[in-house]
Structure 1
């Protein structure tokens, strides 16, 4: 069948054991966006000049594509760094020349799922050759604006459970032709939201390849393992100069809190019991607790849930996996970032001492 390529996973993840129902679990960092700043105008000018030069050179190891960002984007220009092979995915996106002077001078969007540790090291060494040691200092000064952490549950489908996120009411459900079902829990503008979606594991497949321009790929589902991805998208909105002072620096990534702490999972029996006792007239297609609550309130024409309903919901909440035990693997996930994290940590103290002795306005 033809399937959207975004439902097919070509990358490897770290094995972390099994959930409470015997499903195999894997985990990885699926995306990392950081913003950094320049110490002064001269440093910014040098880096921007070298980025412009990269647009004009053909390299042996990587392809560089220039993009002029559309209106409304925070940065005017961007470079896409890809492997030299034609069908290579984007490994690193560099946005620069911000519209707002209060924005960081450069944004780096890494896609570590496409890279082994040694390939990450090679990419960063290559960037250091292009920009100079300032690239490492930019990593050390950087703060995280978004990080995607994925937990994969093998042999599990979206409809096996009902999904929720504590204190989140907005959801979005998709189940279109040529795609596998997915649900977003929480607003995409929130500091934290969760995506639950089915995928096909094609890692190591010799028949299938990631095609950059192809939207759909012909695949035999019976030849590949299927899994459900629970992806936490954390978007800290603090910067180092914020009054709250709660910016998550790249160098402090190990101290990040558990983004799955608010995840709620319910038995699918919950929907059938609510249907049986008459609180809903039909089971919503969207397998989320928010969709069930909306259906109940429409049916009873009340903006508050009855105590009986709350009791039924609580009764059916389950622990699919131990969240704390999962998060004990976080340091191993960060370790797979290799130089991205290691360099930022090593240079962080050096930059901190330099900033203390030579305070200048960052732009």
Structure 2
């Protein structure tokens, strides 16, 4: 891994990134790798502190993986199913309608939905629910009703109960579906999502540096690196980096307030934790150790979930992103689908992940992949904005490629 480490160090020296923590494993050869690079802060008035392996990251949307695992544990326990109507546990969605557009006077055009919202559709982002910041039509609906979009909002029901943007199952729309799933888990178990995860995910894996409530963990907050921001702004729809070569400077994260009391546990974006502890979750599901899910549920986690029409929709979305010149840790083209917690490769990526690999990430350029065929997984942790930073994505892909190259060398050597 020496060449990889030299590449990361060169990126730090050139201030392409402030720092990153990478953690990966290969369960076939029993190989584990972890390394921290760079500094805690780019703020000139701060003393230079090396970034440490136990650094705390805002997982953001990487949270979705843990919520999906928790939801499948509940399915495994018979508390609810993947395909039942969610309104048994979430009656707030009983009469939700579909927003078809607006008439000449600006009034919303709403029609009744003919299909049901299910857990499967929530977790695969095909429920018809949509994140307001990524959907102009929902933004317009909110403005019509005088509702503001607060990126730091942590009281969930009010911002989530809104019209659907399509019939459930017909489109892929990146959504707060996992937030709704998190509420289902909490209600079915008579506890908070945080307490559920502590008992059923964190403790079985020996995870100690993970929380929805960073305001209650000053030790973890102290280990959180300062945010670095790529200058040049972001794409208006995808919130991704607008200038790949923009200067990197110290900044403030507009999406979180580490001092505020969080009212709810946000199952889609609310977790904080270390790269080392997130990797423990990845290793469990690719190695099939049974600590989190039985074999049947682990298979379900990795299955493609989108209908043909919803898959066509996500392919077009990524084709549009490509035309806009936006990079992504996710694959592009027609060989993609969505599983129950991440984008799914339907074809091998040469020198990297295999078909069937699931991947995800978060807005602060956290990225992960889980390949059950090769039994390789990894997590790239950083605290850099905007989303999908090309230099960060390039380094994360280099880390991934190095893990596969190392496995190949090891298997040849031991054959």
Length-normalised TM-score, structure 1: 0.25
Return the structure number with greater strand share: 1
The higher radius of gyration belongs to 1
Name the TM-score, length of structure 2 as normaliser: 0.22
Looking at secondary structure, tell me which structure has more helix per residue.
2
